[in-house]
Amino acid sequence: MQRQAGIHNARQLARAYVRRLGIRAPEHVRVEAIATKLAAWMGFRLRIVIGPLDGADSQIIRAAGEATIMISDRITDPGQRKFLIMHECGHLMLEHPLMPPHKLGEAGPSRHTPDHVRDYEAEANAFASELTMPHVIVNRWCRATPVNLDMPWRIANAFGMTILASAIRFTELSPERCAAVFSARRRIVWCAESATFPKIERGRALDPTSAAYDFWERGEVEPREQFVPADGWFDTKVPVDIVEHAFASREHGTVISMLWVPERVAAPLGMAT
């Protein structure tokens, strides 16, 4: 399928650049310097501009040997800015066509694009994820069990990234049955499931049995992981619990949940390997 093939190719290209740049430790990931070097390899002089930007978080403009990455001044988190810079650099290195304003700078994982169509935003996200949190460094970290938000926080802190980006990255690389779910206003905004995790419906209302729901009921979530009913997150008639570890941002009114199906729960759910 073209969508998955495009994402795979974006990851492989990013990994090749990681090797070429000699990135072997978190301190080697200096995003603006990397972006400048990558652009130069494509024949562009790069400028990064923070300023007003309507309809998008970020955008890249190419003209006459110069590439300008524009980051909206609404984006104040340094980790988010770094990811957006590399996202736009991904569009450049993958030679994507210019996108309409409503498609620019999309941050969360999406499955709206049909499998037979390339998803340029997903490709740029995959490229950015590989360059900001390189596989060669974080892959061994993502094999941790039990699964909770502890390792995504370690990745976020090591690379100066957001917990959202690092939770997605962890889910991409973890061999465990897990998912990162981002919710706001009592609804699921986006999900990033591992290949072995059941699909979660985007846009659905949070189930009251979830740990994430507690944020809107009590204004806080439990600081540690807890067992919650599996059917509160995905369709199943099996009465078993899975693990949820949630982190809430009062500033933004959002929750990130890491879900995990432990081995002993996988068999009753028909998920045994």
Whether residues 166 and 252 fall in one domain: yes
Which DSSP category does 231 fall into? G
Residue 54 lies in a domain: yes
d(CA 146, CA 176): 9
124 and 51 together in one domain? yes
pLDDT of residue 270: 78
Residues, the chain, total?
Answer: 273
Domain assignment present for residue 272? The answer is: no
Write the CATH number for 237.
3.30.450
Which one-letter amino acid corresponds to residue 72? S
* Residues 158, 40 within the same domain: no
Q: Quick check: is 119 in a domain? A: yes
Q: Classify the phi-psi angles of 130: left when phi > 0, otherwise alpha if psi is within -120 to 50, otherwise beta.
A: alpha
pLDDT greater at residue 105 or residue 51: 51
Tell me: do 128 and 12 sit in the same domain: yes
Q: Tell me the pLDDT tens digit for each residue of 48-95.
A: 999 999 889 999 999 989 999 999 999 999 999 999 999 999 999 999
Which of residues 137, 158, 187 is at a domain's end? 137
Please check whether residue 172 lies inside any domain of the structure.
Answer: yes
Contacts of residue 29, defined as CB under 8 A and 6 or more positions apart, other chains included, come to 23, 131, 132, 133, 134, 159
Task: Say yes or no: 13 and 128 in one domain.
Answer: yes
User: In this structure, is residue 111 part of a structural domain?
Assistant: yes
Question: What is the spatial distance between Cα 159 and Cα 156, in angstroms, rounded to a whole number?
Answer: 6
Helices (H), the chain: 2-21, 31-41, 78-93, 120-132, 135-138, 150-159, 163-173, 214-218, 263-266
The answer to whether residues 68 and 21 belong to one domain is yes
- Can you give the residue range of the structural domain that contains 34? 2-137
- Tell me what the pLDDT averaged over the chain comes to: 93
Same-domain pairing of 205 and 111: no
- Rg, Å, the chain Cα set: 19
8 Å CB contact between 95 and 60: no
Specify the pTM. Answer: 0.92
Query: How confident is the model at residue 111, as a pLDDT?
Result: 55
Cα–Cα distance measured from residue 112 to residue 117, given in angstroms and rounded to the nearest whole number: 10
Query: Does residue 273 form part of some domain?
Result: no
Q: What is the pLDDT of residue 13?
A: 98
Number of domains in the chain: 2
Regarding whether 61 and 160 lie in a shared domain, the answer is no
pLDDT value of residue 7: 95
Cα atoms found within 13 Å of the Cα of residue 181, Cβ hemisphere only? 33
Measuring CA to CA, which residue among 187, 170, 218 is closest to residue 179?
170
CA distances from 89 to 104, 163, 185, 214 (A): 13, 21, 32, 38
* Residues 99 and 165 occupy one common structural domain: no
Q: What is the pLDDT of residues 196-254, one digit of tens each?
A: 999 999 999 999 999 999 999 999 999 999 999 999 999 999 999 999 999 999 999 99
Among 97, 120, 137, residue at a domain's last position: 137
Residues 123 and 158 in one domain: no
Show the beta-strand stretches assigned E in 21-116: 45-51, 58-63, 66-72
DSSP at 245: E
Residues 12 and 130 in one domain: yes
> Domain boundary at 107, 137, 167, which?
137
144 in the same domain as 115: no
